[in-house]
Amino acid sequence: MFNFDKMIDSFTEIISDLLMLLLLAMIMMIFLSVICRFFFNVNFVALQELIMYFHATIFMLGISYALKKDAHVKIDVIYNILPKKIKIYMSMASILLFILPTAIFLIYISIGMTIQSWSIFEGSSEAGGLNLVFILKTIIPLTGILILLQSMSQLLKILKSIER
């Protein structure tokens, strides 16, 4: 299995590091927006949209990092009292039955919309907004791909733990 799982985990870590920088930039933009609005009575639509784009990107691409860190939603009250062997099989089943199909569906359902958006270089419907909606829509299938890769990494780690 040539450490495919470690390669994916490293890639997810790089993505999370970039998202932390994006989060810092977003916080600074929010601060700037608040200062401009309350002290100078100036509002920039493009800045508001950029903040929204950053927020969406952080949230969507951060899902794979949450999966890597096992910080996703599950029923911890029940899960924590189960024996290790049952936990392993439950994790494997949840990846195969829920996470992988959801990731594949997300890619499938969003790819057409993304291609359509790129074909017309879709822009903002707001006056003074950013003409980058096509880039924002690209985040959706990319999220599915990252979830797919990270869930495969998690599955490989589970299989390695069973072999021991």
- Specify the number of domains making up the chain: 1
Asked if 153 contacts 1 with a C-beta cutoff of 8 angstroms, the reply is no
> What global pTM score does this model have?
0.90
Q: Over the chain, what is the mean pLDDT?
A: 92
Confidence class for position 82, pLDDT limits 50, 70, 90 = confident
Q: What is the pLDDT of residues 124-162, one digit of tens each?
A: 988 888 999 999 999 999 999 999 999 999 999 999 888
Torsion of CA 159, 160, 162, 164, to 10 degrees: 170
Q: What is the pLDDT of residue 75?
A: 67
Share of the chain above pLDDT 90, in %: 76
Tokens found for residue 99? 């996470």
Residue 157 belongs to what domain range?
A: 4-163
